[in-house]
Chain A
């Protein structure tokens, strides 16, 4: 079975450019999460969706970040304009029924470098 699929795996972009990260969750999962991993702050939840509806976006750092989930099989995380401090690994994850008692499956991450 295919796991959570993220693209691109690696991206290097210049400051000020728009960055779009993509995620395909595991089929049948009703929760989708976006996490960011940095050396300084570790793993942070940015936003999560339930049945394509954003439930909690309190972790989104600022208005430059936006996330959408137009259907059950696709989500995007967009940064516009990008800044060097956005450099991080961005993980998408999905689960069935949330995380309280269920397994959350992570993608392999999108490694973003903003120069």
Chain B
């Protein structure tokens, strides 16, 4: 079936460290890929997205590249800040022609990031 697998957390880093959160997916056809972020006590916010192979999504210093050959969409940031502490979710959605619907975002389990000053 269609699924998203993320590296298990928690991930603890010092401020200004390099961040990588791994995400791989299994999907029929050509999914769109997303990273969402959830700050403590809040809902999810879209961080970035990519809709086709080799696309790079970027926002707030974060970036992720849609790699079809490795079915991956790893999240990276060159220098994390304390304010980046949150839970990060990788997600995908399928196009309608591959049995997807306009509502079905399939999420990974989330990776908690803690950044220490």
Contact = CB atoms under 8 A, between A and B. Distances in A.
A107 interface: yes
A98 B45 CA distance: 16
Q: Range of interface residues on chain A?
A: 20 to 34
A56 B94 CA distance: 15
Interface of A: 4, 31, 33, 42-43, 45, 48, 50, 55-56, 91, 93, 97-101, 103-104, 106-109
Contacts of B105: 43, 45, 99, 104
11 contacts: A42-B107, A42-B109, A48-B102, A48-B103, A55-B103, A93-B43, A93-B44, A97-B102, A100-B93, A100-B100, A109-B43
Contacts of A42: 107-110
B26 to A, nearest CB: 15
B51 interface: yes
Nearest to B36: A106
Contacts of B96: 100
Given A100-B100, A106-B45, 9 more contacts: A4-B43, A31-B102, A48-B101, A48-B103, A91-B43, A99-B103, A100-B93, A104-B46, A106-B43
A108 B42 contact: yes
A26 to B, nearest CB: 12
| Closest 7 A/B residue pairs (Cβ) | A98-B102, A48-B103, A106-B43, A43-B107, A106-B44, A42-B109, A108-B43
A55 B102 contact: yes
B41 interface: yes
Given A31-B102, A99-B103, A100-B102, A107 B43 contact: yes
Given A48-B102, A48-B103, A98-B103, A103 B42 contact: no
B104 A45 contact: yes
A109 to B, nearest CB: 6
Nearest to B96: A100
B43 A100 contact: no
B20 interface: no
A67 to B, nearest CB: 12
